[in-house]
């Protein structure tokens, strides 16, 4: 299974304070919009999403179809195919993708410790 680009999505209290902190760690903003309360920060191949008042808690995020520069991959596993594989292997999906559609879609699941995982396909 190819899950695509990996990042951690952090729920932050103050987007500007978090941006300043991660910039001091060597991250730079590569995407997002402070007016929409989110930024995607990058340091080498490491990605962190900063999201203010958009969701509760932190989550692991995978983006099928993208590399770590948000560039389209020629070949990738569609989120619906990933969902099917997970369900066949006994993984409970919290929010399922509509298998009758194509293109952008997402699923949520939790690991055994309750950590949220988002698989978010943008194309």
Q: For 8-26, what is each residue's pLDDT tens digit?
A: 999 999 999 999 999 999 9
Residue 53: count other Cβ atoms within 10 Å of its Cβ.
Answer: 11
CATH code, 46: 3.10.180.10
Residue 14 CA to residue 12 CA, distance in Å, equals 6
pTM for this entry: 0.88
Domain count, the chain: 1
Phi and psi (nearest 5°) for 10? -105, 130
User: What residues make up the domain containing 57?
Assistant: 5-121
Position 110 scores a pLDDT of 96
């Amino acid at each position: 299974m190819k899950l695509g680009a990996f990042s951690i999505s952090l729920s932050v209290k103050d987007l500007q304070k978090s941006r300043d902190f991660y910039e001091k760690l060597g991250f730079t903003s590569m995407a997002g919009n402070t007016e929409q309360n989110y930024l995607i920060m990058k340091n080498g191949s490491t990605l962190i999403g900063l999201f203010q008042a958009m969701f509760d808690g932190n989550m692991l995020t995978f983006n099928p179809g993208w590399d770590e520069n948000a560039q389209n991959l020629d070949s990738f596993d569609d989120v619906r195919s990933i969902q099917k594989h997970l369900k066949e292997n006994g993984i409970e999906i919290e929010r399922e993708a509509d298998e009758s559609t194509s293109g952008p879609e997402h699923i949520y699941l939790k690991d055994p410790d309750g950590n949220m995982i988002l698989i978010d396909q943008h194309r």
